[in-house]
């Protein structure tokens, strides 16, 4: 044995981190809203596994949240090339388009998500948001109602539905949606205790 190893003068080389550990770190950083640090973690993981669609998707989401939409699209389109269309991927691409104020493209991508997975409440909700922004309140209502039908405790869709009822002058339905939101919130708080 080399005496320098015992004395710590020749420390053992550091074991490189795995892509899985870097991905987990990136996910934690994204959850903590540390998007630039998350992007670095995902990028390091992608150096180890350059065509890993999960890593590309996660980095794309971090790019989106950091306001770097062109880079988000590039990563998500790379996933599209590797895996083909999935409902979740089309929803993610729709969200990037929506945030870039390209509502027509966002709507097209959300609709494609529904072709791939008809019972996708997030896509129905996001289509409702586009209709609401375009003052197409009757259309928005149907889309939000479909989202809530698919997931009765979907708070965002219920909130959007309450706003749509308000725009349509349906105050009774608005109050009912708001009451349902209160129930869900109270249940969530009770479950957390």
pTM of the model: 0.82
Query: What is the per-residue pLDDT across 71-107, written as a single tens digit (0 to 9) for each?
Result: 999 999 999 999 999 999 999 999 999 999 999 999 9
**190 pLDDT tier (thresholds 50, 70, 90):** confident
Where do the domains of the chain lie, and which CATH numbers do they carry? 18-84 (1.25.40.10), 107-193 (1.25.40.10)
Q: What is the DSSP letter of 33?
A: T
> Which residues have CB under 8 Å from 179's CB, separation 6+?
none
């Amino acid at each position: 044995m080399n005496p320098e190893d015992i004395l710590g003068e020749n420390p053992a080389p550091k074991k490189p981190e795995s892509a899985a550990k870097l991905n987990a770190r990136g996910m934690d950083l994204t959850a903590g809203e540390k998007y630039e640090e998350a992007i670095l973690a995902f990028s390091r993981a992608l150096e180890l596994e350059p065509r890993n669609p999960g890593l590309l998707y996660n980095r794309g989401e971090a790019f989106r949240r950091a306001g770097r939409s062109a880079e988000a699209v590039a990563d998500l389109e790379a996933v599209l090339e590797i895996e083909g269309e999935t409902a979740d991927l089309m929803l993610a691409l729709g969200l990037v388009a929506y945030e870039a104020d390209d509502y027509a493209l966002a709507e097209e991508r959300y609709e494609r998500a529904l072709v791939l997975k008809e019972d996708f409440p997030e896509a129905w909700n996001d289509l409702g948001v586009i209709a609401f922004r375009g003052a197409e309140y009757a259309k928005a209502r149907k889309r939000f109602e479909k989202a809530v039908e698919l997931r009765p405790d979907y708070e965002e869709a219920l909130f959007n539905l309450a706003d749509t009822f308000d725009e349509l002058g349906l105050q009774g339905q608005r109050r009912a949606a708001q009451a349902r939101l209160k129930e869900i919130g109270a249940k969530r708080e009770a479950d957390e205790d």
